[in-house]
């Protein structure tokens, strides 16, 4: 496939991330805010427009099929490939969550989703971090049935971090993308409807 369609490319990701978060935009706004070259933005825009993902009206573009665009990430990226380690620990405790928050991990997938959803609950804990000391400590924790997944940060994670109290978590758009890349798109129905006003099957 053409490189400019590869949504795992960091420059392309910055563009797609911006347009999903803003919905209406000009090329200049994308260039200024994403700090991606004019030439690259133009190439990506042409490709997205030819496929019907964005549409130009007067001087502004708008996203036409945000969920279809997000679903393309699955072709280039898998959360499973970013999984550093998976632990089976004792049931989620406030102490463990406090420690993870203190260590500034970025909660993702269903753990982030719970902060945006009024009803979704998941006993697992999922986060981005390459803190080797933390991972070593988790290996020595008592074993149990709670799944704790540590993922390697990728795709310019720094532009996708929200703060809720002392907790760091992925933005709504990044949370949806990660869920699609983790074969958990079905869990994001409520969030997609809130974000884009669209329903998924």
Q: What pLDDT digit, counting tens, does each position of 110-154 carry?
A: 999 999 988 888 889 999 999 999 999 999 988 888 899 999 999
Q: What is the pLDDT of residue 90?
A: 79
Q: What is the pLDDT of residue 23?
A: 81
Q: What is the pLDDT of residue 100?
A: 95
What range defines the domain where residue 151 resides? 79-196
pLDDT at position 1 over 60 = no
Q: What is the pLDDT of residue 26?
A: 95
92 confidence band (pLDDT: 50, 70, 90) = low
Q: Identify each DSSP E strand in the chain by its residue range.
A: 24-25, 54-57, 60-63, 83-89, 106-107, 125-128, 146-151, 161-164, 167-170
Q: What are phi and psi of 75, to 5 degrees?
A: -75, -25
Are 93 and 177 in the same domain?
Answer: yes
198 confidence band (pLDDT: 50, 70, 90) = low
Our count of domains for the chain comes to 2
Are 21 and 99 in the same domain?
Answer: no
Are 57 and 84 in the same domain?
Answer: no
pLDDT at position 89 over 90 = no
62-71, 140-149, 161-170: which range is least confident on average? 140-149
Query: Is position 201 within any domain?
Result: no
pLDDT at position 85 over 60 = yes
Are 38 and 87 in the same domain?
Answer: no
Query: Is position 185 within any domain?
Result: yes
* Helix residue ranges per DSSP H, 23-159: 27-34, 38-50, 66-71, 79-82, 94-102, 109-116, 132-139
Are 98 and 19 in the same domain?
Answer: no
73 confidence band (pLDDT: 50, 70, 90) = very high
Are 30 and 54 in the same domain?
Answer: yes
Q: Are 109 and 178 in contact (CB under 8 A)?
A: yes
Tokens (6 digits) for 136: 């070593």
What tens digit of pLDDT does each residue of 9-53 get? 999 999 999 999 998 999 999 999 999 999 999 999 999 999 999
For the chain, the average pLDDT equals 91
Are 130 and 173 in the same domain?
Answer: yes
């Amino acid at each position: 496939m053409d490189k400019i369609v590869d949504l795992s490319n960091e420059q392309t990701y910055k563009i797609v991330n911006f347009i999903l978060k803003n919905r209406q935009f000009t090329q200049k706004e994308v260039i200024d805010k994403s700090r991606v070259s004019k030439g690259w933005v133009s190439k990506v825009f042409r490709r997205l427009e030819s496929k019907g993902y964005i549409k130009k009206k007067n001087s502004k573009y708008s996203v036409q099929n945000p969920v279809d665009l997000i679903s393309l990430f699955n072709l280039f990226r898998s959360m499973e490939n970013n999984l550093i380690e998976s632990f089976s620990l004792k049931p989620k405790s406030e102490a463990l969550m406090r420690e993870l928050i203190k260590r500034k991990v970025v909660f993702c997938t269903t753990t982030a989703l719970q902060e945006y959803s009024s009803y979704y609950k998941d006993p697992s804990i999922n986060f981005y971090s390459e803190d080797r000391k933390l991972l070593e400590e988790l290996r020595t924790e008592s074993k149990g049935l709670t799944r704790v997944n540590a993922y390697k940060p990728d795709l310019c994670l720094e532009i996708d971090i929200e703060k809720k109290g002392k907790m760091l978590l992925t933005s709504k758009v990044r949370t949806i993308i990660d869920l699609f890349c983790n074969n958990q798109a079905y869990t994001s129905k409520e969030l997609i409807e809130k974000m884009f006003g669209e329903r998924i099957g």
